């Protein structure tokens, strides 16, 4: 518990203390390398995927994540920290393993991710996160032209994104395609921009090819639409007296 409290305090002081919490992971060659394999079947990730996650143990392990991603897994509407609740275990394991291995650059998260000591802990925390309902009060596109942006984004999404991410943003667990329903607009926009521009080193090359031609305006529209998606049966229930967005 003492370790958890120390990490929670450090999270409150990000980014000032995060860099001091642990040395950065040694970078591995990513999408910039001709030898890069997006989902190579090797290392800690593969071991974690073979483990049966213990949700009760995962809830305890998640305490070090909740300082940034919140106990509910809702993340932050401003996009600094993504919504995690309901995400596929495969996606969570891959992304945490990539960060720990130095394949995905995330100096803020790295000191916390490294506190999950082995493959079993990765499986446990991922199982707990996947079990959480997806918040409905996440960050949306709030421009005056929201209806137009969402309509434009819907057209683009259904042409090139729906096949992988699904009609309701449900992703595909067996293919490591993430749930995007309930994700914050600003986070979606930031990640797609980084993937398009080659700054997300563990990106899926197939996705890079799809969005490489997109303009900034098109990415805004797609992100606006994606953030409006709802997964039936997976979203949290509206609070009493509140309105579902």
pLDDT tops 60 at residue 205 = yes
- At residue 221 the predicted structure's pLDDT band, cuts being 50, 70 and 90, is very high
Total residue count of the chain as it appears in this document: 245
Question: What burial class does residue 173 get, using C-beta atoms within 10 Å of its C-beta: 0-12 exposed, 13-18 middle, 19+ buried?
Answer: middle
What per-residue confidence (pLDDT) applies to 13? 41
Nearest partner of 207 among 177, 244, 238, 239, judged by Cα: 177
| Percent with pLDDT over 90 in the chain | 76
pLDDT-wise least confident of 3-7, 34-38, 82-86, 163-167:
3-7
pLDDT tops 50 at residue 101 = yes
This prediction has a pTM of 0.88
Structure tokens at 66: 């909740």
What per-residue confidence (pLDDT) applies to 117? 83
DSSP 13: T
Structure tokens at 7: 């990490």
| Residues linked to residue 134 through DSSP beta bridges, in sequence order | 235
**pLDDT (average), residues 200-206:** 95
Rounded Cα distance between 28 and 104, Å, is: 9
pLDDT, one tens digit per residue, over 141-155 is 999 999 999 999 999
CATH class of 146-226: mainly alpha
Higher model confidence: residue 116 or residue 184?
184
pLDDT, one tens digit per residue, over 58-92 is 999 999 999 999 999 999 999 999 999 999 999 99
What per-residue confidence (pLDDT) applies to 41? 81
Structure tokens at 171: 């992703």
What per-residue confidence (pLDDT) applies to 234? 95
pLDDT tops 90 at residue 42 = no
Count other C-beta atoms under 10 Å from residue 191's C-beta.
20
pLDDT tops 70 at residue 159 = yes
Task: Write the Ramachandran bin of 141: left for phi over 0, alpha for psi from -120 to 50, otherwise beta.
Answer: beta
pLDDT tops 50 at residue 105 = yes
pLDDT tops 90 at residue 180 = yes
- At residue 224 the predicted structure's pLDDT band, cuts being 50, 70 and 90, is very high
ω into 15 cis (within 30 of 0): yes
pLDDT tops 80 at residue 51 = yes
Structure tokens at 222: 């797609």
What per-residue confidence (pLDDT) applies to 24? 66
Task: For domain 2-15+31-131, give the CATH number.
Answer: 1.10.760.10
The mean pLDDT of the chain is 89
Helix (H) or strand (E) holding 43: helix 43-49
- At residue 93 the predicted structure's pLDDT band, cuts being 50, 70 and 90, is very high
What per-residue confidence (pLDDT) applies to 173? 98
What per-residue confidence (pLDDT) applies to 160? 95
| Percent with pLDDT over 70 in the chain | 88
From-to residues of CATH 1.10.760.10 in the chain: 2-15+31-131, 146-226
């Amino acid at each position: 518990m003492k370790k958890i409290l120390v990490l929670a305090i450090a999270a409150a002081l990000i980014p000032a203390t995060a860099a001091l919490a642990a040395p950065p992971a040694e970078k591995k060659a990513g999408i910039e390398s001709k030898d890069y394999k997006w989902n190579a079947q090797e290392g800690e990730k593969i071991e974690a995927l073979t483990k049966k996650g213990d949700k009760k143990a995962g809830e305890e392990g998640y305490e070090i994540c909740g300082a940034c991603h919140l106990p509910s897994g809702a993340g932050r509407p401003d996009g600094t920290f993504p919504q995690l609740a309901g995400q596929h275990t495969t996606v969570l394991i891959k992304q945490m393993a990539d960060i720990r291995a130095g394949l995905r650059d995330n100096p803020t998260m790295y000191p916390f991710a490294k506190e999950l000591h082995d493959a079993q802990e990765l499986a446990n925390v991922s199982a707990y996160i996947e079990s959480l309902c997806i918040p409905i009060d996440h960050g949306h596109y709030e421009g005056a032209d929201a209806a137009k942006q969402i309509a434009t984004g819907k057209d683009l999404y259904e042409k090139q994104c729906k096949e992988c991410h699904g009609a309701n943003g449900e992703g595909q667990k067996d293919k490591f395609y993430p749930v995007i329903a309930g994700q914050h607009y600003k986070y979606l926009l930031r990640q797609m921009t980084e993937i398009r521009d080659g700054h997300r080193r563990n990106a899926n090359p197939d996705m890079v090819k799809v969005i490489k031609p997109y303009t900034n305006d098109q990415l805004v529209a797609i992100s606006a639409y994606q953030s409006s998606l709802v997964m039936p049966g997976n979203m949290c229930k509206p609070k009493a007296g509140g309105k579902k967005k």
